[in-house]
Amino acid sequence: MGITTDIAKFAVSTSIEDLPANVLHEAKRDVINVIGCAVYSARDPSLRIILDVFAAEGGKPRASIWGTDRRVSLQQAALANGYTGHLEDYDDTHFPTVLHPSSPTVPAAYAVAEDLGLSGRQLLYATALGIELSCRVALAVHPWHYDEGWHITGTMGVFGPAIAAGLLLGLDQPKMVACLGIGGTQAAGVREVFGSMTKPFHAGRAAAAGLISAQLAAGGFTSTEQIFEGRRGVAAVLSAESDLSRITEGLGDRWEIFNNGLKPYACGVVNHPIIDACKALRARGVDAGAIESIEAEVHPLVPELVSIKDPKIGLEGKFSVYHCIAIGLRHGAAFPAQFSDAEAADPANTPIRHAVTLVKNESFEEDEAVVRLTLKDGTKLEERVEHATGAPQNPLTDAPLTEKFLELATPTLGESGAKALLDRLWRLDEAPNLSGVFANGA
């Protein structure tokens, strides 16, 4: 057997009863987190572009678009919910690969479970395995794949929804192997589009691609049996180097899902320790107008990924460490409001951005940073963050996750609707089906 067969065998032979309770709970947290992000973004004008395309295309209404009253085809629902789940860049991040596994995986699994009348517990089961295995696949090509310019959420992210949807559709081992092959050949997405609507489109497209992979495989569609290890498979073609042993190392004993951190800030994850540091400096009484210069000592990915000096729109601000330093020092917050077009264009941010010097530290972890300030009166201040909020070593616990969800869902659903939806999601493992989850307009 090869690695592709090993993955398929583990997926189809692992039952709900085999999953530890804390793994299912972590899957529930991932579901709650990404649905909150999607419900918030359901009001975004860019979703209307997608919905207009769906309307022109047509399709049988079989699944919900979260935060709206629209029902569309399964693949359309997966695409739309994957898009809105990742639009604010507020969903989750797997350390160290920077894969965002929930936005592709959960929408595909949810659409199938909703359509087939499956239970909330079945949804959590499929989600847990989809996220677990997509994170492991990402590890196998990290860091080489991302360094070449691929967006790992659009590429390796396709395997999470393929596995999750395949499990819910009842694929056996040979069909799951085919499902992985169909999904892998659709792996796509390049980092050049970061800062535009196309970045979250990668998550939506991966969700839809994974879903159709499972649907085709269920019908007997064939593919390679070596999508990972083949000489022209995804590892060889899409990555200069790879280590496929990472996929199965400790499989079933060590759960990679716990290295998937839920985001406290609505931007690229490498910004998070820097925002933590700037918030702490602000809390110490620093006035942003009194700053002469700023030195940020950072992981090498920071200048690589988030180096837009003067973002013109909010989406660009999410990929600007300079903007994140400015809003951290000025507002002490990095919610979606701090990444609006108006905030990006606010002239008060410009002098702070231009006062920043980045210093790369090759020994730093991705969630580590030091920010040093020199004030106009000569005072020097420093704030060090060893593990950013939301990282595996400093996770977002259930209480702040609840606060985050309510903050995100309330503008769309109202306070009572957001609280009711959150209550149903926390009790998802008790739901016989998903028909009542988005009830009464929620």
273 and 199 together in one domain: no
Mean pLDDT calculated for residue range 156-178: 98
Q: Are residues 187 and 305 in the same domain?
A: no
pLDDT at 441 over 90: no
| 67 domain-assigned | yes
Q: Do residues 219 and 342 share a domain?
A: no
In a domain, 442, yes or no: no
- Which of 385, 404, 422 lies at the terminal end of a domain, its last residue? 385
pLDDT value at position 298?
Answer: 98
Which residues form the domain of 315?
Answer: 269-385
- Average pLDDT of the chain, as a whole number: 97
Are residues 13 and 138 part of one domain? yes
CA-CA distance, 74 to 63, in Å (whole number)? 6
Q: Is the pLDDT of residue 1 over 80?
A: no
Claim to verify: residue 380 and residue 325 sit in the same structural domain: yes
The rounded percent of the chain whose pLDDT value lies above 90 is: 98
The pLDDT of 308-313, averaged and rounded, is 95
In terms of Cα–Cα distance, which of 358, 359, 364, 316 is closest to 341?
A: 316
Assess whether 40 and 134 both reside in one domain.
Answer: yes
| Token pair belonging to 296 | 């940020």
State the total domains in the chain. Answer: 2
Structure-token pair, residue 83: 């898009």
Cβ pair 7, 228 in contact under 8 A: yes
* Nearest alpha-carbon partner for 125 in 20, 214, 29, 24: 24
The DSSP code sequence of 57-120 is H-----EEPTTSS-EE-HHHHHHHHHHHHHHTS-SEEETTTTB--HHHHHHHHHHHHHHHT--H
Contact 128, 19 (CB under 8 A): yes
Q: Does residue 438 lie within any of the structural domains?
A: no
What digits encode the pLDDT tens for the residues 56-79?
Answer: 999 999 999 999 999 999 999 999
Task: Verify that 330 and 207 share a domain, yes or no.
Answer: no
Q: Which pLDDT belongs to residue 439?
A: 76
Q: Is residue 439 part of a domain?
A: no
Say yes or no: 361 and 420 in one domain. no
Is 215 in the same domain as 93?
A: yes
Kindly state whether residue 183 falls inside one of the protein's structural domains.
yes
Express as a percent the part of the chain with pLDDT over 70: 99
Residues 199 and 318 in one domain: no
Is position 391 within any domain?
no
My answer on whether 183 and 321 are in the same domain is no
CATH of the domain at 280: 3.30.1330.120
Q: Report the CATH number that the domain containing residue 94 is assigned in CATH.
A: 1.10.4100.10
Are both 50 and 138 inside the same structural domain? yes
Give the model confidence (pLDDT) of 379-420 as tens digits: 999 999 999 999 999 999 999 999 999 999 999 999 999 999
Q: How far apart are CA 34 and CA 22, in angstroms?
A: 18
Model confidence pLDDT, tens digit, residues 344-365: 999 999 999 999 999 999 999 9
In a domain, 168, yes or no: yes
* pLDDT score of 440: 56
Q: What is the pLDDT of residues 233-255, one digit of tens each?
A: 999 999 999 999 999 999 999 99
DSSP string, 390-411: TSTTS---HHHHHHHHHHHHHH
- The answer to whether position 437 is within a domain reads no
